[in-house]
């Protein structure tokens, strides 16, 4: 047990040294280290001979101590990542539903949570301003009755999902893979609203605002205010939503109205949405420019300082798959030789072409069945099974490929100071016996 703690702690504070301790010289897996690893895990590792040198078992790659669990009315036991602003992640095994229930949606706030709008939600006002011939100031009830209503299953993923995978560590919430949801949203297409405002030729970007207060308490400062190129705002699936899973949107998720801009960083999906400005130039609100929601165009040295001047704004989120029916750290009865596996996969604006699963540290891969999305920008269900030749410690590696042939990498790539866009394949520790 002493050994387990020391290895896990060393990994948390200094992963490279921990790997050196466990594996010795690069490329050579030492018998003694392997025994130590097996002892730390408490089981034999049937595919130990296939473990890549330098790999640290997922079972041990956990920071010491348990993160706090969310206790909030209407929410499941999510993992709390931050109190101020309030941020909570959904464990992967809670994302098994095709339509994410309200209680299982991750929470990401940049500022405070506004007071609940006490009046009839249909009286909530939304403004469309800027490069428009006929700027609008409409009540939500009028928007709902004037424009066609649509109901769609839409992914919403934080731009920082997967951030904890970056080495060296980057600043920001240390998301695992659970900053993703796929609820069923009802609303109107944002493009209908923008057209009704008589958008001008010069409308090339948006800037969007919500009612949540900045943490400083300064009423003149938005907590976050991001914007997108006009083409994304005009897509079929970019909506102004007023219902989620057939119910009013929960307060914490933006009641009574929010944008849903699926496939792109979740920060564009403004909660408590009350104003959009059409612009000739890119938006300049908090969350725009420098290294915010921007990625290096040419790779930079991991850990180096960079002001982001030559970075590009994030657009479509990268491909990712999750295993959702087997929780990380699951123990199954001795003699289990075959398990069913399933999960969700998505690829931003693209679709998922394939999901592969490996139980032998990536030496062999089995192709899973991937369902088509029920509508564009929904995640996709995948299913299949894996075989486990003997009792012992396994890792189920899950890896998706997008419709343009891009696969999830083994480790987080394209390091950047704020840790966006990490999509390494998922690793789930599993013990048989
Ligand atoms: N008004 C407002 N909208 C917001 C935010 C915020 O802090 N304020 N956070 C954004 C970010 S960074 C994400 S990832 C999503 C998270 O949505 P959720 O909390 O409903 O899951 O909301 C986005 N919309
Ligand atoms: Mo986010």
Which of 298, 313, 328 is where one domain is finished?
313
Domain check: are 224 and 328 in the same one? no
User: What is the overall mean pLDDT for the chain?
Assistant: 91
Domain for residue 89, yes or no?
Answer: yes
- pLDDT at position 9: 62
Domain for residue 62, yes or no?
Answer: no
Domain check: are 374 and 286 in the same one? no
Domain for residue 71, yes or no?
Answer: no
Q: Where residue 369 sits, what CATH number does that domain have?
A: 2.60.40.650
Domain check: are 115 and 263 in the same one? yes
Cis ω on the peptide bond leading into residue 65 (within 30° of 0)? no
Query: Which residue among 267, 274, 285 is best mutated to probe the pocket of ligand 1, counting the most ligand atoms within 8 A of its Cβ?
Result: 267
Domain check: are 131 and 204 in the same one? yes
Domain check: are 117 and 166 in the same one? yes
Radius of gyration of the chain (CA): 23
Is the pLDDT assigned to residue 163 strictly greater than 70? yes
Atom of ligand 1 nearest to the CA of 259: 24
Cis ω on the peptide bond leading into residue 85 (within 30° of 0)? yes
Q: Whose CA is nearest to atom 19 of ligand 1?
A: 107
Atom of ligand 1 nearest to the CA of 179: 14
Which of 260, 285, 313 is where one domain is finished?
313
Total domains in the chain come to 3
Domain check: are 26 and 164 in the same one? no
Query: CA angle, corner 327, sides to 340 and 67, nearest 5?
Result: 170
- pLDDT at position 19: 58
Is the pLDDT assigned to residue 230 strictly greater than 50? yes
Domain for residue 281, yes or no?
Answer: yes
Q: Picking from 57-66, 164-173, 180-189, which range would have the lowest pLDDT averaged per residue?
A: 57-66
Which of 252, 287, 313 is where one domain is finished?
313
Taking alpha carbons only, the member of 366, 291, 327 closest to residue 177 is 327
| Ligand minimally distant from the alpha carbon of residue 157 | 1
pLDDT in tens, 201-222: 999 999 999 999 999 999 999 9
Query: How far, in Å, is the centroid of ligand 1 from the Cα of 154?
Result: 15
Domain check: are 331 and 305 in the same one? no
Is the pLDDT assigned to residue 21 strictly greater than 70? no
- pLDDT at position 35: 66
Q: Which residues line ligand 1 (CB under 6 A)?
A: 105-111, 156, 158, 181, 210, 212, 223-224, 253, 266-267, 269-272
Taking alpha carbons only, the member of 295, 313, 320 closest to residue 415 is 295
pLDDT in tens, 281-323: 999 999 999 999 999 999 999 999 999 999 999 999 999 999 9
- Segments forming the whole domain that contains residue 351: 320-432
Domain for residue 268, yes or no?
Answer: yes
User: For ligand 2, a single-atom ion, which residues have Cβ within 5 Å?
Assistant: 108, 158, 266-267
Q: Are 98 and 380 spatial neighbours (Cβ–Cβ below 8 Å)?
A: no
Query: How far, in Å, is the centroid of ligand 1 from the Cα of 181?
Result: 12
Question: What single string gives the DSSP state of each residue in 226-264?
Answer: ---BHHHHTSTT-EEEEEETTEEPPGGGTTT-EEE-TTS
Dihedral Cα 314, 252, 123, 115, nearest 10 deg: -120
Domain check: are 224 and 332 in the same one? no
Query: How far, in Å, is the centroid of ligand 1 from the Cα of 61?
Result: 29
pLDDT band at 63 (very low <50, low <70, confident <90, very high): low
Going by the DSSP 8-state scheme, the letter that residue 268 receives in this structure is G
Q: Picking from 48-52, 86-90, 168-172, 205-209, which range would have the lowest pLDDT averaged per residue?
A: 48-52
Q: Where residue 158 sits, what CATH number does that domain have?
A: 3.90.420.10
Domain for residue 195, yes or no?
Answer: yes
H helix count then E strand count, the chain: 6, 23
Domain check: are 302 and 331 in the same one? no
């Amino acid at each position: 047990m002493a050994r387990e703690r020391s290895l896990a702690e060393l990994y948390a504070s200094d992963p490279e040294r921990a790997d050196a301790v466990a594996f010795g010289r690069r490329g050579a897996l030492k018998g003694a280290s392997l025994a130590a690893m097996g002892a730390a895990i408490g089981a034999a590792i049937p595919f130990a001979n296939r473990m890549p040198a330098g790999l640290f078992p997922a079972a041990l790659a956990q920071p010491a101590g348990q993160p706090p669990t969310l206790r909030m009315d209407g929410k499941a036991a999510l993992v709390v990542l931050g109190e101020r602003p309030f941020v909570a992640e959904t464990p992967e095994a809670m994302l098994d539903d095709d339509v994410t229930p309200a209680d299982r949606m991750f929470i990401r706030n940049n500022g405070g949570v506004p007071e609940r709008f006490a009046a009839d939600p249909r009286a909530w006002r939304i403004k469309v301003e800027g490069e428009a011939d006929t700027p609008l100031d409409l009540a939500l009830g009028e928007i709902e009755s004037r424009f066609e209503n649509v109901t769609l299953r839409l992914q919403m993923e934080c731009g920082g999902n997967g951030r904890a995978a970056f080495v060296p560590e980057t600043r920001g919430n240390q998301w695992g893979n659970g900053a993703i949801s796929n609820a069923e949203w009802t609303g109107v297409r944002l493009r209908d609203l923008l057209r009704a405002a008589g958008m001008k030729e010069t409308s090339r970007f948006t800037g969007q605002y919500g009612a949540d207060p900045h943490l400083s308490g300064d009423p003149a400062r938005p907590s976050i205010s991001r914007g997108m190129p006009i083409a994304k705002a005009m897509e079929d699936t970019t909506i102004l939503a007023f219902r989620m899973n057939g119910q009013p949107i929960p307060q914490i998720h933006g009641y009574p109205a929010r944008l849903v801009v699926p496939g792109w960083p979740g920060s564009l999906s403004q909660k408590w949405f009350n104003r959009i400005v059409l612009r000739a130039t890119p938006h300049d609100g908090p969350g725009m420019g420098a290294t915010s929601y921007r990625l290096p165009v040419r790779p930079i040295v991991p850990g180096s300082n960079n002001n982001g001047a030559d970075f590009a704004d994030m657009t479509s989120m990268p491909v990712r798959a999750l295993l959702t029916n087997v929780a990380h750290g699951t123990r199954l009865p001795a003699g289990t030789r075959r398990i069913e596996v399933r999960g969700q996969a998505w690829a931003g604006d693209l679709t998922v072409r394939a999901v592969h699963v490996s139980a032998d540290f990536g030496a062999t891969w089995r192709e899973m069945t991937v369902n088509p999305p029920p509508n564009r920008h929904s995640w996709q269900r995948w299913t299949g099974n894996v075989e486990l030749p003997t009792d012992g410690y396994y890792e189920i590696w899950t890896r998706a490929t997008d419709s343009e042939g891009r696969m999830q990498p083994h480790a987080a790539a394209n390091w950047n100071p704020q840790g966006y866009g990490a999509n390494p394949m998922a690793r789930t520790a599993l013990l048989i016996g």
